[in-house]
Amino acid sequence: MIGVVRFLYLLGLGIWIGEIAFFSFVVAPEVFGVLGPERAGPVVGAIFPRYYALGGAAATLALGCGLVLGRRATTPVWWSAATLSIAVGLAATLWAAIVVHPRAQHLRVTLQDAGQAPAANPDFQRAHRTAVVLNATALLARIAGLGFSAAGLRQ
């Protein structure tokens, strides 16, 4: 049974890290490079709900399995650190999904309807910066969780 929990933990963490790395370093730059900011914004905005849903589900799976593994560990300190890291990353992901993305989407649509470029608007710039910081926080938390997990799995 514990082998299944370890597998699900690593699956969740792997999907979560792979998702953010692929989207941030491959998909988004290519979409913006090919389409330009005005046409790429709606495309990326349409991807984000599924992106956040997949990330939230994978993080929740990893967090739950990490808690189980921590309870069964002889030295739970590594699992405590791993689950704390995952919880921080999940919180950043959820904040971006529930608060920041809807605000940025609303601003983008409103500004484009008024004939303005979202990238030139200070409110949109602030929302974008916040999303980037949350994304970076989530990525670093995921990597930290993976590192702590590696130490926990050795025991």
Residues 135, 155: Cα–Cα separation, whole Å: 31
CA angle at 107 for the pair 52 and 126, rounded to the nearest 5°: 75
Report the pLDDT value the prediction gives residue 126, as an integer from 0 to 100: 96
Report the pLDDT value the prediction gives residue 153, as an integer from 0 to 100: 87
Residues 66, 50: Cα–Cα separation, whole Å: 24
Report the pLDDT value the prediction gives residue 155, as an integer from 0 to 100: 74
Per-residue pLDDT at 119 exceeds 90: no
Measuring CA to CA, which residue among 16, 6, 3 is closest to residue 86?
16
Q: Please name the residue that has the structure tokens 């405590």.
A: 80
Per-residue pLDDT at 25 exceeds 90: yes
What value does the mean pLDDT take over residues 133-150? 95
Q: What percent of the chain has pLDDT over 70?
A: 100
What value does the mean pLDDT take over residues 45-71? 96
Q: Which residues contact 83 (CB under 8 A, 6 or more apart)?
A: 63, 66, 67, 70, 145
